Structure formats: C-alpha cells, structure tokens
A and B are shown apart, each in its own frame.
Chain A
Amino acid sequence: MVFETQDSHAVRAAQAGNVDAFGELVQRHRTAVYRVALRMLGNPSDAEDAAQEAFVQAWRALPTFRGESSVATWLYRIVVNRCLNVLGAQEPADPVAETLEAPASGPNHIVEVRGELEALKLAVTRLTPEQRAPFVLRELEGLSYEEIGEVLEISLPAVKGRLHRARLEVLDAMRSWR
C-alpha cells in the first residue's frame, strides 16, 4: 500500500504529540473508517458517531500502537470494535420492537419501495454482529482473509466459517425478494 510509509511517518509524529500529523491519518483513513461503520450500523448518524469515537480512541491509544499491523488494519480493528459495542448495546434493548416492525419494514417491503441495493444493505445489518463484521470487511472493503483475521483477532478457520454463513444468509435474503 502506498499509504503505509506515509502512515508510519505520521504515526511517529502523532505519537510525539503532533495533532496535525494525526489529522493526516484522519484524512487518509476517514472514508474507510466511516464506510465500515455505515455498513455495520446501517445509518449515517450512528456511523458518524462511531467513526469519530474510533479516531478519538485511536489518538488516545497511539502510545500503544506498535506497528505490528498496518495503521489501516489497526483503525479497522478499533472501528469494528466500536460498532460491536454499539450493536451489543442495542441488541437486548428491543426484541419486542423487532417483532412488531418486521412485517412492515422487512426486506420484501423495502425491495418494493427503495430497490434492491437498499434491501441488501438492510440484509447486511440483519446478520448477527459476529457474521456481519467479516462480511463487511471481505465483500465490501475487499480485505483478505488474513487481514480480517488480524482485524477481528480470530483464526483463519473462524474467519472462513463466519464469512461462509454470512454469505449464505445474504444469498437467502436476496432469493426471497424474487
């Protein structure tokens, strides 16, 4: 990656307390970080919060960044974790709302109203968080299996297994719209 050398300069400067250098990292990686949050969480305002928090957390954790993974991988890890936190916080909260809303706002309804791409986005957000993260990283961000393992800190077989189930779920959802 072209960014990597530039990144390591910026990281060193930022570690020394240079906020502008950190700003460079933000400029370079904000789109990817925001995009992952958007795909994971499904709505722009939550995604923006998550992206912002991820960068603030990254700044605070800079002293601990050891350069063993690339800055991109590290930032992916932080933002995915933020998203998992948010999702973990939502899940037990509204099992009732879920069942009540399902008939009106399920994928089939959305397909008619807003088209298949929107329905696909929704189908992604209906994956379990555990499956969603590898799906987003692989299919939408184009990371390799190895990189995903690094981001999620899970083994290669675990990446494959989760991704595999996620793919089948998404395919099933798309089939059901026909």
Chain B
Amino acid sequence: MSGNEQDERLACGVEIATLVDQVADGTPPADPEHQATCPHCGPALSEIEELWGRVRELAREEVVTPEQLARRIIRRIRQDVTARRLEVPLEAVVPRLLRHALFHSERGTTRIADAVVAEIVSGVVREVPGVHSLGGGLADALQAGIPVGATTEGVEVEVGGERVAVHVRLVVRHGASIARVANAVRASVIRNVAAVTGLEVAEVNITVEDVHVGGG
C-alpha cells in the first residue's frame, strides 16, 4: 500500500523516515545544526511529535488484567499435572529408553525429552484451522493396544542432537484445502517448536488419514 514512503523526503532533502525514528526512539538529531534552522524539518518534526504523543499515551494506558486470569492458569496447570500422573503408567513402571535432544554448553548439558516436543506439536497442530483432530485412520486401528514410545496421539517425534523430525497424522475438516492445511501445520510446528525449545525442526512429515464430514 505504502511501499515507497521510505523514499519520501522533505524539500531540504532529509528523509521523513529519519525524523520519525528520531521522535519515536528519542534519539538526538543526526544533523542538529541543520535541524535547528531548517524551515522544513521544524514543522515536520512538530507534526510527528504531536501525532506520536498518542502512541505514548497508549503506552501509558493502564491495562487491567482479568481478575481470574492467574487463578484460571494455575487451575489448568494443576489439572495438567494430575492428568499426567494418571496417564503415564508405562514410563512410571518400566524405565523407558528415554530419547532426548541434547544441547551442550560450557556450563552443562540440557536434555529435552522427545515427549516434551511431541506434546508441544500436538497442542499446536490442533489449533491450525482445517485440522479436525490428530491420529485417526488405519494406523491407529493397527496400533491400538500396542504401546509406542514417545508419541502423543497422531504425533511422533525423533530427536537427534539439536534437530528434530516430526511425523504428524491428522484428520482434515471436510471442505478445507488439504495442501493449505498441511502447509499451515508445517509452518506452525516449525515456528513453535523452535520458539519454545530452541530445537531446529529438520522435517515435518504429514499424513492426512481422513476427512471429517459434518459439523464441528
């Protein structure tokens, strides 16, 4: 829309953008002598200054956090903790061959269990529009009852060093573009896993197992 505004200059040759940054960042002028006397810079600066006052006002506006927010968060987390205690009997009984991603630093090593990554992937994928659910299809039927290592339903994660490969099986909503959903899933997994864990996602393989027809 406004792609060429960077090039906009005042009659004196000064870029408007420079003045904007000067006001917004509160930095001293690049050329104080020029600005002090220039008939173009002066008015432009005061206009920007006046407009920018509103941005500062917005920054000062007090935002009231919803009263119950903290309590709700803690409640969710307690549920999370309880659910996990109930739901992971396998590792609890038999020490599983834990697979970890590894970060080495001078002051020690960080390990991230693949299950943690799988959990993150699972949460993120469910939120992509067009995804109906995770898992589903023949593979689930075949695997029913067979305990699989570090997987969350429909998600498998392989870790190696600081890299991770993700396999996702999912059911797409009827009417959604499968290609678009798959791309969105891939992008979202790569971005979120990197943001939260620092691991590099080497690949995201997606299998669409089924299409869900009907409401919801």
A interface, CB within 8 angstroms of B? 17, 19, 22-23, 26-27, 30-31, 34-35, 38, 44, 48, 51-52, 55-57, 59-61, 63-64, 66, 77-78, 81, 84-85, 88-89, 92-93, 116-117, 120-121, 124, 138-142, 153, 164-165, 167-172, 174-175
Residues of A within 8 A of B80 (CB): 56, 59-60
16 further A-B contacts with Cβ under 8 Å, apart from A59-B77, A84-B191, A169-B2, are A38-B63, A51-B69, A55-B77, A57-B120, A57-B123, A57-B196, A64-B196, A64-B197, A81-B191, A88-B184, A138-B24, A139-B55, A142-B59, A168-B6, A168-B17, A174-B54
For chain B, what secondary structure do more than half of its interface residues adopt (helix, strand, loop), or is it mixed?
Answer: helix
Q: Which residues of B sit under 8 angstroms from A81, Cβ to Cβ?
A: 191-192, 195-196
Chain B residues within 8 Å of chain A by Cβ, number: 53
Contact call B116/A85, Cβ cutoff below 8 A: no
Query: Which of chain A's residues has its CB closest to B188's CB?
Result: A85
B150, chain A: closest CB distance, angstroms: 14
A-B contact pairs, 23 of them (CB 8 A): A19-B74, A30-B69, A30-B73, A34-B65, A34-B69, A52-B73, A56-B77, A57-B196, A60-B80, A60-B116, A60-B120, A64-B116, A64-B197, A66-B198, A81-B191, A84-B191, A85-B127, A120-B58, A140-B55, A164-B20, A168-B20, A171-B48, A171-B51
What 1/0 flags go to B8-21 for Cβ under 8 Å of A? 00000000010011
The secondary-structure label for the interface of chain A is helix
Bound state CA distance, A51 and B71, in angstroms? 12
Q: Is B72 located at the chain interface by the 8 A CB criterion?
A: yes
Asked if A35 contacts B77 (CB within 8 A), the reply is no
Among A27, A35, A60, residue most surrounded by chain B Cβ atoms (within 10 Å): A60
Which residue of the partner chain B has the closest CB to A142?
B59
